[in-house]
Amino acid sequence: MQVLDKEFELYITHEEILNKVKALAEELNKDYNGKCPIMVCILNGAFIFAADLVREVNFPVEIGFMKYSSYVGLDTVGTVDKVADLAQDVKGRDIIVVEDIIDTGYTMERILCDFKEKGAASVKVACLLQKPKKLITNIKVDYCALDIKNEFIVGYGLDYNGHGRNLKDIYILSPDDND
């Protein structure tokens, strides 16, 4: 699969992704039965995951969106900038942060700090993917669909320079193009 100037290979099929999303939703259904949290989708990457996840939960939920920036091309830039803030008031509310991928943890650390400062009653992290070997911060991921190796991926909302988000499967950077 060609995305811009890079070649990618199939890594996780759409069917496997959806099965993992359903399993993660079952955990949330048990833990949030009788509650009405705000699910906060971190844009842009988590929008497809969040849409599939919210359709699988059976408790009342509000949806909100935030946007942070920390990547350019294949690499993190080392800083985390808030681009768009959440519209809802979170004081005293249960929050489920829905993120596409956790790698170093810097972005999630910033997000969790922001919610703590705003007085959220609880904040849990639900991610589609995490790279345990790349994690630098001491954040807790409460719900994770899949652990993956420390490789660059695209598809199912994840991008390479703004491209590839629309791919229904997840692709890994080809070893021949990993320079």
82's tokens: 């808030």
Residues labelled catalytic: 103
- CATH node for 13-69+83-150: 3.40.50.2020
DSSP letter for 91, please: B
Q: Match 């170093």 to its residue by tokens.
A: 104
E-assigned strand segments in 47-142: 62-72, 75-84, 94-102, 122-130
Number of Cβ within 10 Å of residue 103's Cβ equals 21
Q: What is the C-alpha to C-alpha distance for residues 83 and 62, in angstroms, rounded to an integer?
A: 21
Question: Quick check: 30 pLDDT over 80?
Answer: yes
Confidence of residue 130 (pLDDT cuts 50, 70, 90): very high
pLDDT surpassing 80 at residue 87: yes
Q: Which helix (H) or strand (E) holds 110?
A: helix 106-117
Q: What is the mean pLDDT of residues 4-12?
A: 97
- C-alpha distances out from residue 59 to 25, 35, 63, 86, 99, Å: 10, 7, 12, 21, 19
Domain limits, the chain: 13-69+83-150
pTM across the whole model: 0.91
Query: If pLDDT is split at 50, 70 and 90, which confidence band does 68 have?
Result: confident
Q: How confident is the model at residue 101 (pLDDT cuts 50, 70, 90)?
A: very high
Task: Please give the average per-residue pLDDT across 130-137, as a whole number.
Answer: 92
